[in-house]
């Protein structure tokens, strides 16, 4: 380990941060005193011995990039994707899968224990049921310029679009769609994001926001022709204009997925757990922590991914969701699957908690930002005996658990995002004073 006052650092990577950077320790001298500070180096692996060029210095940490790899870690592996380190879609392809799981567990444990949260056991991350091409839904960036179409994902720490020809993250049908776009010639001159989802039918749904008043370049015509020429791949194109959604063509092929013996209908704009193959495992394990109770409140219920399977073991489920399309899909899913003990309510979590009746269990599955201060206040007023918290962001999970001050009685992770630094955590919480 060399001193961090120079333009380079030589040392060994010890861990991976929750953002996917390799972490080493450097020594910094200030006012005659030596301090240890982390250095974050992307695309490194625990056990790598290397020389890193320092690219950015902060007061409490430093960023570097690999200058020379002296000795590669035994956990380093060859990344299969030719776009790796250029495309920002994934950041751990170079790490063996067992090591990815170990490092994700280590990250979460560190973040929670740093907040003083007592854990009943060491954290285990359950592996994904699919290693590659597991995402059924993705946002695709598209640039129309110079007579060509450039489609793919943003570069690492950049807005530039990488023209993707290979990807081991998205479903193969979504990759086929991206490859199709990259072969297109066009007179369009604009940049666009498209939301693409795969369903059980084997076809895709594509959602595009189009400002008709400014669409002088003919994006709508391009989409109409794309749809007409590729009906074997594209089942629906949804056009969003002035907050309304319409479809191209006459035939609507619904997006569906099956999980826990339930078939779910969804829309490109609604949230789903994109790793469908592993979603069944996530839901099963989460429902086990909910248990058999009379009433359960599912905040951030979405299309009913947890609410409907929970209904098999709970007498009454209240599913609260703010998105209208998700509530519509959730109510439809309950009806089509003959599930009668789930009530969907369109409301923000904040508004509902102001007058919420008592519930035996509250299930939380918030966005990456975690629960808002108003939701935390509402939960503390409601004081359910048990909370089950599903989180895709360990940092906001640690913050919220610290504020709730419940006891952690069970915890585990499910690797819904192989080859990325993301992880889905499930935590069972019991009220300190209401435990029997």
> What residues act catalytically?
392
CA distance 269 to 263: 18
Residue 431, SS3 per DSSP: coil
Q: Which residues contact 4 (CB under 8 A, 6 or more apart)?
A: 26, 27, 28, 37, 39, 54, 57, 62
As a whole number of Å, the end-to-end CA separation of the chain is: 52
Pairing of strands 161-163, 190-198: unpaired
**Tokens encoding 154:** 């943003």
Contact partners, residue 338, CB within 8 Å, separation at least 6: none
C-beta separation of 379 from 353 below 8 A: yes
The continuous run of DSSP H or E covering 288 comes out as helix 276-290
Please report, for residues 91, 153, 323, 355, 385, the alpha-carbon distance to residue 18 in angstroms, rounded to integers and kept in the order given.
11, 21, 29, 36, 30
Other beta carbons within 10 Å of 215: 15
Q: How many CB atoms lie within 10 A of CB 187?
A: 9
CA angle at 372 for the pair 371 and 377, rounded to the nearest 5°: 95
Residue pair 169/89 in contact (Cβ under 8 Å)? The answer is: yes
Q: How far apart are CA 23 and CA 12, in angstroms?
A: 9
8 A C-beta contact, residue 228 and residue 220:
no
What tokens were used for 320?
């609260």
| Contact predicate 76/45, CB 8 Å | yes
d(CA 236, CA 416): 26
**DSSP state, residue 120:** S
Residues 6+ apart with CB under 8 A from 112: 119, 394, 397, 398, 401, 408
- Other CB atoms within 10 Å distance of the CB of residue 119: 15
């Amino acid at each position: 380990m060399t001193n961090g006052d120079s333009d380079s650092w030589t040392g060994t990577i010890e861990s991976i941060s929750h953002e996917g950077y390799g972490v080493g320790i450097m020594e910094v001298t200030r006012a005659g005193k030596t301090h240890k500070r982390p250095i974050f180096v992307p695309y490194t692996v625990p056990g790598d011995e290397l020389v890193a060029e320092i690219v950015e210095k902060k007061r409490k940490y430093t960023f570097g990039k690999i200058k020379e790899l002296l000795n590669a870690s035994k956990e380093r592996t060859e990344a299969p994707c030719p776009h790796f380190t250029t495309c920002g879609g994934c950041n751990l392809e170079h790490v063996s899968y067992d090591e990815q799981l170990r490092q994700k567990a280590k990250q979460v444990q560190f973040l929670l224990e740093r907040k003083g949260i007592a854990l009943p056991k060491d954290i285990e991350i359950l592996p994904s049921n699919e290693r590659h091409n597991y995402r059924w839904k993705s946002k695709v960036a598209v640039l129309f310029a110079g007579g060509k179409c450039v489609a793919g994902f943003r570069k690492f720490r950049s807005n530039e679009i990488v023209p993707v020809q290979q990807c081991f993250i998205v479903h193969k049908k979504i990759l086929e769609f991206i490859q199709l776009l990259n072969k297109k010639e066009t007179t369009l001159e604009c940049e666009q994001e498209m939301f693409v989802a795969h369903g059980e039918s084997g076809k895709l749904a594509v959602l595009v926001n189009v400002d008709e008043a400014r669409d002088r370049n003919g994006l709508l015509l391009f989409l109409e022709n794309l749809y007409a020429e590729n009906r074997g791949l594209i089942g629906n194109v949804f056009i969003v204009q002035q907050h309304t959604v319409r479809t191209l063509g006459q035939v609507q092929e619904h997006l569906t997925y099956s999980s826990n013996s339930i078939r779910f209908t969804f829309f490109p704009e609604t949230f789903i757990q994109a790793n469908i193959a592993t979603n069944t495992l996530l839901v099963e394990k989460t429902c086990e922590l909910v248990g058999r109770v009379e009433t359960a409140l599912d905040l951030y219920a979405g299309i009913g991914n947890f609410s409907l399977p929970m209904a098999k073991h709970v007498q009454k489920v209240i599913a609260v969701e703010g998105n209208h399309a998700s509530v519509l899909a959730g109510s439809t899913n309950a009806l089509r699957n003959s599930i009668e003990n789930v009530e969907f309510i369109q409301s923000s979590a904040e508004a509902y908690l102001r007058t919420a009746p008592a519930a035996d269990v509250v299930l939380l599955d918030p966005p990456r930002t975690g629960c808002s201060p108003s939701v935390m206040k509402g939960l503390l007023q409601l004081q359910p005996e048990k909370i089950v918290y599903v989180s895709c962001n360990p940092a906001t999970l640690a913050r919220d658990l610290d504020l709730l001050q419940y006891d952690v009685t069970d915890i585990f992770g499910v690797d819904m995002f192989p080859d990325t630094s993301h992880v889905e955590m499930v935590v069972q919480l019991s009220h300190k004073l209401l435990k029997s």
